[in-house]
Structure 1
Amino acid sequence: MKFKLYNPFDYAQEDFAQLIMESWHYDLIKDGFEVRDVDSGELYISQLRQAPRGVIVSFPVTLQAGEEKTVHIQVVKRNNLKTAYRNDYVGSDRMMDLDVTSDQQPFKITSTYIDTPFVKIEWAKGAGITSWVDKRTKKEMLRQDRNHHAFTPVYDVTHASNVQEMYEVRRKMGRNRKGPDAVISTGVLTNVEVISQGDVYGTVQLTFEVAGCSHYSLLVTAYVNHPRVDVAVRMHKDSVWAPENLYISLPFGSPITSESEQLWIDKMDALTRPRKDQLTGSLADYYCLGEGAAYVTAHDGVAIAMPDTPLIQLGSLNHGFRLLNGDAKLQQDPGHLYAWTMNNYWETNFSATLGGFYEFRYLVAWGEQYHTPEVAMNACRSMNAGILAWRIR
């Protein structure tokens, strides 16, 4: 089987190609395969996983601006094929209470941490993801002053006294988008399951309990040879008539007032620093964005691509007097970053009934190459688009 890969951008793409096939192809390649460049013969490190109604082969690839490549999946019989289907961290008693890794392993996934050559991520029952260390610089990437841990859900609901008050309770919210009696709940990590580990990536599922959702879990995917982590937030949202909000904590970077590390977003492809490149008197709580957000220093940066949730919150999640840009009190507001994932306050671009299954993705990459907002935002754009790949004859 041959696939064509293409980079439509005017800058290089370093990403992971996804070759998608029908489910019956699994029997053809399950015992061994390899992915090669048709022209150069280059062999790519690859990994297989079964997906609903199909099979996906993933491998890292770099494409220069406008470059095309053709790759070929060839059947190769092997006895030691690694797939992303299962691992040995769960014993025959179905308990996951052994750390079977060794110090010689460059890539480890257990029930309490992920450790790659680029990052170590740790979590704790109840708290969630408590540490995210860049192993190149030994720097903790999560803010010390954070109110919530990484990708922890925060839910609030303002109850109406009766059905007739559903409109009135919203009218009284004003710029808070929640009432003074809003009930705020923070997600609690309850369960961890190692899903896969292979030559390209490994995935762990963290399951939380949070009000407003009958299911909320994170699929955290770390890569063997790249400073990047993908997080897929999967949830089954309850249908709630009363006004509600669901936020996801993204506590990377520094306070918004920092001069050494600045937050950048893109608005209609224009790079903007919230609260710095906006009009005096404009709202300083939430912002629409295009591709994502980036924290940039003179030496490095972190890019957070957000393909599914184009609304962020920087202001306090609590009800109170809202501050407009230019207000001196904003100098005391640290500006914690959240993805404002769901709400039923507005009736135009949001459904008034939010119940159902959803998945929202967040793609996080970091390193020295992201020391300018232009490069960091291009990384967000590239990760959101992915590598274009399609099967050819």
Structure 2
Amino acid sequence: MGSTPAVVKVYRKGQRKYDLCKKLDPDSALGDAGLMQKAAENLILYSEHTWGYSSSVSEPWETLVGELEHKKSAYAINGNTEVADNLDRILAKKGEVAIRQDRPQHYRIINPHDIPLETTAKIYIEFWEYVDGLNYSLDVPIEVFDLATNEVIPHQVKRIARAYEIEIPLKVQPKEERNVGVRATGRYPNGTSQSHAHIGAEGVEDVLQPGVLREDVACVETAFYRVEFDQKRGITSIIDRKTGKNLVRQDAIYAPFSGIYEVTDIRTSPTEERRRMGRNRKSPATRRYEAHLTDIQIVESGPLFVSLQLDYSLEGTRFYKVFLKLYREINKIEAMVRIHKDSVWEPENLYVSLPFTAGDDEVKYVDKTGCILRPGIDQLPGSNMEFYLIQNGLVMEAGERQVLVAVKDTPLLTFGPLEAKPIQLCDGNNWELNRGETFAWVMNNYWETNFKVDLGGFYEFAFTLSSQEKQTTEAAMRLCEAYNEGLLAFYI
């Protein structure tokens, strides 16, 4: 998985679309059962373990190596395409229409899940569209409203590559459908004078205001969280305002969502250096680097959320950026980790730190295929504890609280120290590992054969963090799944 993170994202998106088709159309009455069968076959063939030709590490330039890499990728791409085609057919039966000139800005939003959600949906105005006769741009005042009740819904809008993205908060029941519209208001905002100093003549607003929630590069407060930042590390604490508990481990070595890069020099040959690692994924000679914060700034601020960009320098990358979205009135924090990775032949690993905790004596759960387990505890004797292949996320429980981390794009997690060590197999009682620091193992090329050796390129990995009163572990995992799959929103 870690050797082809970009294509794994395509596969996982196809996997989620397949699940959405099953939720929306369990009897295949709206879609095409043949497309679903083809998609299933392709997705199964991609997730089968043979990832490439046997000389992929020793001779990465060989034609057959490249051919098999692209053939393998095609399974994920074709499976994603087929299931996307089927999802389009289902949504067309549910009212979706094509983009066209003079289309009213009306949308249908569906909660396809079996649980109620308080989350957000995204709708779009194409960059060439008109709203009530006005060529839309960010300076045109609009409002989002419920088509059934005319209730105005808060929103926040930003320009993206080919459209304007409008995000709205919603509380939806299981399987609920809502229709919303966008209209121009004609009401342009007026400037308002303040009776206290809050902004300088140069336009920089950097004066603390007593009695209001903070929003600066040292601290951002929402209804649910207080997030504090350090100018050297990044995030230092995330305080759950309901309990006063810090969701970040006090013994965390690395800051939340920061990167850790490992590389091992080749002293023998590319394959022999890897083979000698055995079941480890590094050696005592491995060099380890942590990301160092170089800048932090607020890049978006509106009625729905505030976003910060944290820039890091990290060996092995051209850039490493964390985009943090803090919702003002919704109980979740989203993080996008964006990386421009160098291409190297040496064995390497890249991790994203997830040092979150529910409190003392916590228990961690992950969702393996078909079951939920406690790493280090609920395993067959003698089985692997070095890494775990998960489906949707990680749930931590302590007392009456749960902390959830939905892991959308990268399926490998690892727990405990990163240093090379003798391999310990599971004896069913490894609480030290279960309560160890957590990392998403987003990239690796350390196998000596059959796997892609080149990790160079641009990547984005998404995570959602939330804290809540304790539910069943199964319910918490379903919430992770819903965060990853999201709500469906489309033109009508």
Distance 1:117 1:81, change over 3 A: farther
Higher helix share: 2
Distance 1:80 1:250, change over 3 A: same
Contact 2:270 2:448 in 1 (8 A): no
Higher strand share: 1
Q: What residue is the counterpart of 1:56 in the other structure? A: 165
Aligned residues: 376
Offset at 1:20?
Answer: 2.1
Question: What amino acid does structure 1 have at the position aligned with 2:210?
Answer: D
Offset at 1:129?
Answer: 1.2
**Structure-1-length-normalised TM-score:** 0.89
Offset at 1:282?
Answer: 0.9
Question: What amino acid does structure 2 have at the position aligned with 1:125?
Answer: Q
SS of alignment partner, residue 478 of structure 2 = helix
Question: 189-198 or 26-35, which moves further after superposition?
Answer: 26-35
Contact 2:365 2:373 in 1 (8 A): yes
Q: What residue is the counterpart of 2:427 in the other structure? A: 326
Distance 1:122 1:92, change over 3 A: same
When Rg is computed on C-alpha atoms for both structures, the one with the higher figure is 2
Q: What residue is the counterpart of 1:335 in the other structure? A: 436
2:281 aligned to which of 150, 155, 177: 177
Question: 269-278 or 211-220, which moves further after superposition?
Answer: 269-278
1:116 aligned to which of 222, 233, 248: 222
Offset at 1:80?
Answer: 2.2
Q: Does the alignment pair 1:391 with 2:491?
A: yes
Between the aligned partners of 1:153 and 1:81, the Cα distance in structure 2 is 43
Between the aligned partners of 1:81 and 1:19, the Cα distance in structure 2 is 27
Question: What amino acid does structure 1 have at the position aligned with 2:114?
Answer: D
Contact 1:109 1:204 in 2 (8 A): no
Between the aligned partners of 1:316 and 1:137, the Cα distance in structure 2 is 29
Between the aligned partners of 2:336 and 2:200, the Cα distance in structure 1 is 27
SS of alignment partner, residue 326 of structure 2 = strand
1:377 aligned to which of 477, 487, 492: 477
1:282 aligned to which of 383, 387, 391: 383
Q: What residue is the counterpart of 1:28 in the other structure? A: 136
Runs of 4+ off more than 3 Å: 89-94, 330-334, 346-351
In structure 1, runs of 5+ residues without a counterpart are 83-88
Q: Does the alignment pair 1:362 with 2:463?
A: yes
Q: What residue is the counterpart of 1:306 in the other structure? A: 407
CA deviations on 1:116-154 (whole Å, 9 max, x unpaired) are 121111121222211111111111111122221211211
CA deviations on 1:297-328 (whole Å, 9 max, x unpaired) are 34121111111011001142101112111187
Offset at 1:248?
Answer: 0.8
Question: What amino acid does structure 1 have at the position aligned with 2:249?
Answer: R
Question: What amino acid does structure 2 have at the position aligned with 1:44?
Answer: I
Distance 1:297 1:371, change over 3 A: farther
Contact 1:244 1:343 in 2 (8 A): yes
Question: What amino acid does structure 2 have at the position aligned with 1:103?
Answer: P
Question: 182-191 or 110-119, which moves further after superposition?
Answer: 110-119
Superposed counterparts of 1:213-252, under 5 Å: 213-252=317-356
Between the aligned partners of 1:254 and 1:203, the Cα distance in structure 2 is 24
CA deviations on 1:152-174 (whole Å, 9 max, x unpaired) are 21110011036xx0011010111
Q: Does the alignment pair 1:201 with 2:305?
A: yes
1:253 aligned to which of 343, 351, 357: 357
Contact 2:412 2:442 in 1 (8 A): yes
SS of alignment partner, residue 170 of structure 1 = helix
Distance 1:381 1:332, change over 3 A: closer
Q: What residue is the counterpart of 1:294 in the other structure? A: 395
Contact 2:119 2:330 in 1 (8 A): no
Offset at 1:337?
Answer: 0.5
Q: Does the alignment pair 1:9 with 2:113?
A: yes
Offset at 1:109?
Answer: 2.4
1:150 aligned to which of 253, 256, 264: 256
Distance 1:21 1:144, change over 3 A: same
Offset at 1:90?
Answer: 9.8
Contact 1:286 1:315 in 2 (8 A): no
Q: Does the alignment pair 1:316 with 2:316?
A: no
Q: What residue is the counterpart of 1:160 in the other structure? A: 266
Q: What residue is the counterpart of 2:38 in the other structure? A: none
Distance 1:74 1:81, change over 3 A: farther
Between the aligned partners of 2:215 and 2:489, the Cα distance in structure 1 is 29
Between the aligned partners of 1:250 and 1:236, the Cα distance in structure 2 is 20
Contact 2:358 2:398 in 1 (8 A): no
Q: What residue is the counterpart of 1:86 in the other structure? A: none
> RMSD of the TM alignment (CA)?
2.4
Offset at 1:29?
Answer: 5.6
Q: Does the alignment pair 1:128 with 2:234?
A: yes
Offset at 1:41?
Answer: 2.0
Between the aligned partners of 1:92 and 1:351, the Cα distance in structure 2 is 55
Between the aligned partners of 1:380 and 1:246, the Cα distance in structure 2 is 23
Contact 1:32 1:81 in 2 (8 A): no
CA deviations on 1:93-121 (whole Å, 9 max, x unpaired) are 79x7x633423333x32122211121111
Q: What residue is the counterpart of 1:85 in the other structure? A: none
Distance 1:59 1:348, change over 3 A: farther
Between the aligned partners of 1:129 and 1:347, the Cα distance in structure 2 is 36
Between the aligned partners of 2:226 and 2:290, the Cα distance in structure 1 is 24
Question: What amino acid does structure 1 have at the position aligned with 2:171?
Answer: T
CA deviations on 1:176-196 (whole Å, 9 max, x unpaired) are 111220000011111012101
In structure 2, runs of 5+ residues without a counterpart are 1-104, 192-197
Question: What amino acid does structure 2 have at the position aligned with 1:361?
Answer: A
Question: What amino acid does structure 2 have at the position aligned with 1:46?
Answer: H
Between the aligned partners of 1:3 and 1:347, the Cα distance in structure 2 is 50
Question: What amino acid does structure 2 have at the position aligned with 1:65?
Answer: P
**Paired-residue identity, %:** 34
